[in-house]
Chains A and B, each alone.
Chain A
Amino acid sequence: MTGFVVRRVAAGAALALVISMLSYTLLSIPHIDVARQLLGQGAAQELVDAKNAALGLDRPALVQYLDWLAAAVRGDFGTSWFTSENVLRAIANRLPVTLSLMAGVTLVTALLSLLLGLWAGVRRGRVDRFVQILAVTGYALPGFLVTLVMVWLFAVELGWFPAIGYIGLEESFTGWLSTVTLPILALSVGSVAGVAQQVRGSVIDVLRQDYVRTLRARGLPPRRIILRHVLRNAAAPALSVLGMQFVGLLGGAVLVEQIFGLPGIGSMTVGYTTRGDIPIIMALVMISVIGVIVINLLVDILIGWLNPKARLR
């Protein structure tokens, strides 16, 4: 198991490294004249050159990248070229919002889709049809459209939740809950649809396995067989779907944060990427990519724990 984790961490680190290299190269190629943008069109050439030198833009791209990498590894993502903010601090301020959103969605998705999928897979019939319809609907409708409809219904028409705004968890728990509930639910629709469908499918698969029949023949109660054996075997494929959906969830978070006016990483991405502010863009790309890699690593470890055969891979 340790070897398996070490291999996965190494692969993830390599992936992050290559992506950082590619992103930096791509960002450097078109060479938007950042210094001139900063100083204004009329600025004297000497001033522009001086600014370029100050930002380190007069050096070859490779040197710039290595410089960035060396600092980034130490946890220093530099300062924004346009706002002079410390990049890491700007992100750290906004990360908790996005993280709590993600944690909420993961929790809601895991619980609801396990419940629905298990119920649909074991009982079939009407519940099954409901989960199928939910899955098709969830896939069929773009997430932000669902979000808009939910805002209109629950915030504008019914007035149950505030339509926009964010209250920090440290300020007031109920306030926080009232501002994140709708975003979390909106984001969960799609992922519950996908994961519940997968849980249903793998539960039906596992129930057909020979070992389930043998467990029944041993006289074990059905509840125990389902909760211990079926659930554990069905969880692995469902988890990998959850992991795959996480990438899409990040995109969804961008839209949802923007719609609800949540000060998270997503709305920061929308606001800060209009100009060629390399330190900020690099940090935002890297934090999302690392988020994806870490989640998939956790999923792999969890699958490895659930399914001993997977550890061999």
Chain B
Amino acid sequence: MKWISGLVLGLIVLAVLLAPVISPAGPDVSSLRHAFEGPAPGHPLGFDSAGRDILARLLYGGQNTLGGALIALLVALALGIPSGLLAGYYGGWFDAAAGWLVNLVMALPAMVVLLASRAILGSTVWVLMVVLGFLIAPSFHRLVRGIVAGVRGELYVDAARVSGLSDARIIWRHVLIVVRAPIIIQIALVAGIAIGLQAGLEFLGIGSGDTPTWGAMLNEAFKNMQRDPVLMLWPGLALGLTSGALVLLAAGLRDTLEDPGSRPRTVTPAVPTAVTPAVTPAAPTAGPGERAALLSVRDLAVAYPSGEVVHNVGLDVHAGEILGLVGESGSGKTQTAFSILGILPETGRVSRGSITVDGTEIVGLPEKRHRELRGTVVAYIPQEPMSNLDPAFTVGSQLVEPMRVKLRLGRAQAVRKALDLLSLVEIRDPRRVFDSYPHEISGGMAQRVLIAGAMSCEPKLLIADEPTTALDVRVQAEVLGLLRRLQRDNGLGVLLVTHNLGVVADLCDRVAVMREGRIVETGTARQVLHTPRDPYTRMLLDAVLPLEVT
């Protein structure tokens, strides 16, 4: 794409520069008896309304149109880049003043200002293009300033400064490199805009009378549209091709020059294609025959386009029991939890196995039926408290909404219940938190709110995904205590996903240990922590045991 658009641009510029060679006729030679005539020998594109050669006007007009845009671009670059570099690198009063000026210029409608400046500066297109350069300079200033201000804090710039390099040298050697690619992209974009604006001005008849420009040609064509619409074709094509090629070039350059890693990353680490062992490991994976009534997973596999990430997982959670699902990050714990909830990312799916929740098989269950279970039968407590509350709604409305939808409560009733829930999760001032936005409460508070949300529709099973990892140690203990109390008081079953064996020792009745997408060991917390059978479990324990588990 970018090669094609680059080639088109190159050809246009070349043709325009070689106008005298390509076109034997002059742009201003008119012979009225040829007016509106089609192609003739020596005049491949025919004649315009005044009998002038269209090809000649197109090529010479291109010199004026592209030249004008070039002036505007150069002025904008000369103003925008240095000021952006200085503002971004030094900050302070210069940055503040420049920022204010930039806002001011950006509030100016370019077309109106250009028309108004015509009154003072006269109808000289070149002068107006300098004004246009002023008007589009902010886009370069902002771009450069933003990037430089970001780079400035980077370690390598600090290192360069510590090693005694002068500011000028640092800017030249380290900072300019970073802004180069974005500037090139921006140049292509802004050039397209400048050409459009410039042609627009010419179309309005600004500029000295007979000078051929693409805009003026379009204006002439527009006046004769009823009689000969074909006149619009060539200048329109020239203008459209040029600015189109510039924008496509910018898009192409962006793909090449800027982070090729911006493609959506897969949520899970790539896993080597699993080769199923000839003999399926028997006992530890698929627990003993009896399946728990509340939650029972058998032979579960989760697959992404990149491969299978969970293999043959089996686990059971009984009512009134806390099962800890332990393993290092990337071991498939969260994928297992998400499959139970039916909230795997778009590209992931349960490829095999069976999951029963409260007696309902959910593998293959229509999404609508599965949704009915969420909230009311199985509920979710996420890991990061702050990012799991919608920033645009108050805590209260986020608690009330599911209860109104799922339990069909009236508004007043739901509000009352939400306030009760907030007290239940040991929040001292429920009314204040109810009316707060997520950014106004602390992380620990937010996690309590999320627990309240999980409890709101009276579920039987809680899936808690690292519920305390993001919290500081004191709050962790409080939240774990709260979870324990809620679980006991309501006889809940809990699947607690964690990598923290201390939490397991504190809270869990039974433990399942996961590694590389498989369950390697299941047992009571006491047995797994004290007499681990699997070498991996032993390794995990050795890493923390002297410190946390007693």
Chain A contact residues, CB within 8 Å of chain B: 15, 18-19, 23, 26-27, 29-30, 32, 136-137, 139-145, 148-149, 151-152, 156-157, 163, 208-211, 213-221, 224, 228-229, 232-233, 244, 247-248, 250-252, 254-255, 258-259, 269-270, 273-277, 281, 284-285, 288-289, 292-293, 296, 306-309
Contacts and interface: CB of A to CB of B under 8 A. Distances in A.
Chain B, interface SS category: helix
B373 interface: yes
B331 interface: no
A218 B374 contact: yes
Interface string B358-371: 00000000000001
B107 A247 contact: yes
Contacts of B390: 211, 215, 229, 233
23 contacts: A26-B117, A136-B247, A136-B248, A139-B247, A140-B240, A145-B236, A148-B218, A149-B232, A152-B229, A156-B229, A163-B225, A216-B374, A218-B457, A219-B372, A219-B373, A219-B406, A277-B119, A281-B116, A281-B119, A289-B109, A292-B107, A306-B392, A308-B391
B278 to A, nearest CB: 38
Given A233-B392, A285-B116, 19 more contacts: A32-B120, A140-B192, A144-B200, A145-B196, A145-B218, A148-B236, A152-B232, A210-B382, A211-B388, A217-B341, A217-B374, A218-B375, A218-B379, A250-B112, A254-B115, A273-B118, A281-B116, A296-B107, A308-B391
A193 B3 CA distance: 24
B110 A273 contact: no
Interface residues of B, number: 71
Given A15-B103, A255-B204, A269 B453 contact: no
A293 B380 contact: no
Which one of A143, A218, A273 has the highest number of Cβ atoms from chain B below 10 Å of its Cβ?
A: A218
Nearest to A149: B236
Given A142-B199, A219-B375, A281-B116, A288 B109 contact: yes
Contact of A214 (B189, B225, B380): B380
A217 B116 contact: no
B392 A19 contact: no
A103 to B, nearest CB: 17
Contacts of B244: 137, 140-141
A247 B391 contact: no
B203 A255 contact: yes
A148 B192 contact: no
Nearest to A213: B343
A145 B193 CA distance: 13
Contact of B107 (A149, A218, A251, A289): A289
B387 A211 contact: yes
B430 interface: no
A275 B123 CA distance: 11
Contacts of A289: 107-109
A125 to B, nearest CB: 12
B437 interface: yes
Nearest to A190: B196
Interface string B241-280: 0011011100100000000000010000000000000000
A284 B343 contact: no
Contacts of B437: 308-309
B195 interface: yes
A156 B203 contact: no
A276 to B, nearest CB: 5
- What 4 A-B pairs have minimum CB-CB distances, sorted nearest first? A142-B196, A251-B111, A219-B374, A219-B375
B346 to A, nearest CB: 9
B477 interface: no
Given A142-B195, A307-B392, A27 B111 contact: no
B116 A251 contact: no
A118 B104 CA distance: 33
Contacts of B392: 229, 232-233, 306-308
B264 to A, nearest CB: 8
B401 A148 contact: no
Contacts of B97: none
B113 interface: yes
Contact of A250 (B111, B195, B376, B391): B111
Contacts of A250: 109, 111-112
Interface string B386-415: 011111110000000110011000000000
B240 A15 contact: no
B112 A254 contact: yes
A19 B112 contact: no
B439 A142 contact: no
A145 B222 CA distance: 10
Contacts of B516: none
Contacts of A23: 116
B417 to A, nearest CB: 15
B7 interface: no
Contacts of B232: 148-149, 152
B450 interface: yes
Nearest to B118: A273
Contact of B439 (A19, A152, A309): A309
B226 interface: yes
Which one of A148, A157, A220 has the highest number of Cβ atoms from chain B below 10 Å of its Cβ?
A: A148
B239 interface: yes
Contact of A220 (B103, B115, B225, B402): B402
